[in-house]
Amino acid sequence: MIVVDAHQHYWQPARGDYGWLAQAPAALQRSFLPADLRLQREAAGVQFSVLVQAAPSEAETRYLFGLARQDPAVVGVVGWVDLEAADACARIESLKRDGDGLLCGLRPMVQDVVDPDWLSRAALDRAFDCMQDLELAFDALVTPLQLPALCRRLARHPQLHSVLDHAGKPPIAHGDDGQWLEWIDELAQQPQLHCKLSGLLTLLDPGMHEDAIGPCVKHLFDRFGASRLLWGSDWPVLTTHADYSHWLRLAQTLTQRYAPGRQADVFGANAMRFYALDASILS
């Protein structure tokens, strides 16, 4: 079985555009580069990955292109563009050219925006139109408060290939997931929306058992089905709660429980199809 990690990061804090790292756990405030992941990925049996932006700058996206060219396991890059810029379309087109086939999607860091309705602003329409026209995926990095705005955005762009990062960050640790459940039910009715089975362990408070993510995972399978779920490691953020192989094994166990026989889809085929990755790597 070909395994594709649909969500991993590299970063180099010395570059200076990772503002969020100042509030991150100390263990994450260092560089994480291809050499740090290669052996872990190989040991886990993961052949390929999608590299996702971690800084709100086009310069970082171009930096990721360079790292991807050094790391043969990386088959796609999800980058960042200022979607509010007057020339957002030209910026997107420029990034796609510079990526030379690597750029497969864009991810505004919506979770860090104060206005919960930002994603539904009309000022972003042209940028999303451009993403849709260029067949670039939209990674939705949101919290439950921003799920209503995401629903409105997707309604305006019914052909946009979209994926919910980290399942929309359900409040697993706090037990007040009613709002998240309602919006997941609503969003899952939009067939172009996929969801990443990623980032769930890091939502647990210290001392919580990993079994606490089970009901959330079951709900995702119930609503999205195995054909719209993509496994991702969220490495190196993952390292604050588990190692790479452990999360992969746990996700495989949960997939076998809730969607028996669908491992190949969740752990590889769905990511290949969603991000329109080079199918020749499967041969």
Domain containing 8 — which CATH number? 3.20.20.140
Percentage of the chain beyond pLDDT 90 is: 94
- Tell me, yes or no, whether 226 lies in a domain: yes
Q: Please give the sequence-ordered ranges of beta strands (E in DSSP) within the chain, or none if there are none.
A: 4-8, 48-52, 74-79, 103-106, 137-140, 162-164, 193-197, 229-231
State pLDDT tens for residues 163-199. Answer: 999 999 999 988 777 889 999 999 999 999 999 999 9
Q: What are 153's two structure tokens?
A: 């955005």
- pLDDT score, position 235: 98
73 lies in a domain?
Answer: yes
Indicate if the pLDDT at residue 282 is higher than 80: no
Structural domain count of the chain: 1
Structure tokens at 91: 């910026």
In a domain, 54, yes or no: yes
Dist. CA 283–CA 273, nearest whole Å: 15
In the sheet that 74-79 helps form, which strands lie side by side, from edge to edge? 4-8, 48-52, 74-79, 103-106, 137-140, 162-164, 193-197, 229-231
In this predicted structure, the answer to whether residue 227 has a pLDDT above a threshold of 70 is yes
pLDDT, tens digit, 9 for 90 and up, residues 57-112: 999 999 999 999 999 999 999 999 999 999 999 999 999 999 999 999 999 999 99
Asked whether residue 283 is domain-assigned, the answer is no
Global pTM? 0.96
pLDDT tens digits, 243-275: 999 999 999 999 999 999 999 999 999 999 999
Query: Where residue 279 falls among pLDDT bands split at 50, 70, 90?
Result: low
State yes or no: cis peptide before 191, omega within 30 of 0.
no
Distances in Å between the Cα of 113 and the Cα atoms of 110, 117, 164, 210 are 5, 9, 16, 29
19 falls within a domain: no
Residue 66 forms part of a structural domain = yes
Q: Using only C-alpha atoms, what is the Rg of the chain? A: 17
Instruction: Look at residue 189 and tell me if it is in a domain.
Output: yes
**8 Å CB contact between 163 and 230:** yes
Domain that holds residue 204: 4-14+29-278
CA-wise closest residue to 83 among 131, 39, 155? 131
In a domain, 215, yes or no: yes
Is residue 283's pLDDT more than 70? no
Asked if 103 and 95 count as a contact pair (C-beta separation under 8 A), the reply is: yes
